[in-house]
Structure 1
Amino acid sequence: MFRGVQHINMDTKGRLAVPARQRESLLDQCAGKVVITIDTQSHCLTLYPLPEWERIEAEIQSLPALNPAVKRFQRLMLGYAADIELDGNGRALLPQSLRDYAHLEKKIVLVGQGNKLELWSEDRWLAERDAALSVEAVEELPAELLSLKL
């Protein structure tokens, strides 16, 4: 399980050092082999351990490709997916196309999402966080969330 929010830096070559907590989990789960792709609902990236991505990829490929909306989703999720392996120092090199999509520069934020991690530009993450905490967002919570017993 990936949890927490961590602010990290990316170097000028597009490499980021995965923090020790997540790196250990990735090394245990998938020997550091991950897949990074775009999030189709936000301008961020999602990082999946390879076994988790393979499960998701099979689900995506099983969808009816003749449905135009499904085809667009498949093109984005599968088309942008990049196989990445953490190097000996726990660093990952992000392809330029993915960095461009998420507007990633030096300061980025790694957000745990249970089975995956999200990568955000720091500015976009702070805006997303603030929007999610707004009174309007809290008032618009769906019934599924309102039924949770936290």
Structure 2
Amino acid sequence: MLTQHPYDACLVMYPFPEWRDIARQVASQSDSHTQVRALKRRFLGQAVEMEMDGNGRLLVPPELRSVVGLEKHAMLVGLMHRFEIWAEETWNQLEQQDLDQDAMPESVQSLSF
């Protein structure tokens, strides 16, 4: 399943079992809050089922390409349980930002890389 990332300027693609679990969690949230309704529209309302063509390519719908500025080149980033699809220019800008270790949560600061 492919949809717009709720917080970042990218698309996010999940294997169907992962999607089902996350979609249920999002859908179960109360519609009484404006931001929750907006999240549901962005994350659930734009979701599309993806299949590879005969050449192993994914055809990203024009509406989703447009929402993140995806034109010619894309970056596919694997994150264990999902993939993110970024416009190359947006990804390159993101990569130029330094990670501030002190701004990371303590749980991350204690990791050894």
- So what's the TM-score if we normalise by structure 1? 0.70
**Counterpart of 1:42?**
8
Q: Which structure has more RCO (C-alpha within 8 Å, separation ≥ 6)? A: 1
Report the AA paired with residue 101 of structure 2: V
Unaligned runs of 5+ in 1: 1-34
Q: CA deviation at 1:147?
A: 2.7
2:105 is the alignment partner of 1:139: no
**Counterpart of 1:114?**
80
**Counterpart of 2:70?**
104
Report % sequence identity.
Answer: 34
- So what's the TM-score if we normalise by structure 2? 0.90
Q: Which has the higher strand share?
A: 1
For 1:138 and 1:148, how far apart are their aligned partners in 2?
Answer: 11
Is the 8 Å Cα contact of residues 102 and 109 (structure 2) preserved in structure 1?
Answer: no
Unaligned runs of 5+ in 2: none
User: Aligned pairs, how many?
Assistant: 113
For 2:28 and 2:72, how far apart are their aligned partners in 1?
Answer: 37
For 1:99 and 1:88, how far apart are their aligned partners in 2?
Answer: 21
Give the aligned CA root-mean-square deviation in angstroms.
1.4
Q: Which runs of 4 or more aligned residues in structure 1 lie more than 3 Å from their structure 2 counterparts after TM superposition?
A: none
Report the AA paired with residue 138 of structure 1: Q
Report the AA paired with residue 140 of structure 1: A
Report the AA paired with residue 107 of structure 1: H
